[in-house]
Amino acid sequence: MLLRHRAQAAFTVTMQLMAEMVEKHLDGLTAAARLLAKAFQNGRKVLIFGNGGSAADAQHLAAEFVNRFQIERPPLAAVALTTDTSILTAIGNDYDFSDIFVKQIKALGQPEDVAWGISTSGNSPNVIKALQAARQAGLHTLAVTGRDGGKMATLADIAIIVPSPETPRIQEVHLAIGHIIVDLVDFLLFPEKFDLS
């Protein structure tokens, strides 16, 4: 009985957060989708990054753009900055762990690209440094965070914040946010592929 109650409580919190996102954050989701769609239309790319579970989200979402999501369409230029172990370990060893994304932003980012940082706290030093560098280099910035948004929210053109102190619940909603953004981008770029009836 205690296990069932604990599981039900976790689902309830996540569902309440999802409902709050629908009520308060649809404008942020649609703005993010428009930003990304415009970048892709203009031949630009998205660079996605985060730590831990957010690193997994970064590579998951990059795969949805590069391969496909729910429709057949051309690949979209997305790179997860979390996946090249030689780059990550070289920078972490030779410089500092807080530089693992910023150096990649400086190497790969071009004006009008989108830098998409993900962090449940909003205060990950390596994500913050990358967003700062992205802004200085003329990239657009998108932050998907939790809690109160942290410092990341102040560095982003668009910040989508999941208002919870619980990391697992934030991560669950972050994945839904990512999937919805990819779906909206596909809809904006390839409306003919969708049944609008």
Our CA angle for 118, 107, 75, nearest 5°, is: 65
In a domain, 196, yes or no: no
Start-end of H helices in the chain:
2-24, 26-41, 53-66, 85-94, 102-108, 125-136, 152-155, 167-189
Query: At 145, which helix (H) or strand (E)?
Result: strand 140-146
In a domain, 179, yes or no: yes
Contact 48, 36 (CB under 8 A): no
Per-residue exposure over 31-46, b if at least 16 CB sit within 10 Å of its own CB, e if not? ebbebbbbbbeeebbb
Determine the pLDDT at residue 1. 77
Distance from C-alpha of 138 to C-alpha of 93, rounded to nearest angstrom: 28
3-state secondary structure of 114: strand
Q: How many domains does the chain have?
A: 1
pTM of the model: 0.95
In a domain, 139, yes or no: yes
In a domain, 195, yes or no: no
* Tens digit of each residue's pLDDT, the chain (197 residues): 789 999 999 999 999 999 999 989 999 999 999 999 999 999 999 999 999 999 999 999 999 999 999 999 999 999 999 999 999 999 999 999 999 999 999 999 999 999 999 999 999 999 999 999 999 999 999 999 999 999 999 999 999 999 999 999 999 999 999 999 999 999 999 999 898 76
In a domain, 76, yes or no: yes
CATH number of the domain enclosing 124: 3.40.50.10490
Determine the pLDDT at residue 196. 76
In a domain, 197, yes or no: no
Q: Which domain holds residue 23?
A: 2-190
Residue count (the chain): 197
Determine the pLDDT at residue 197. 66
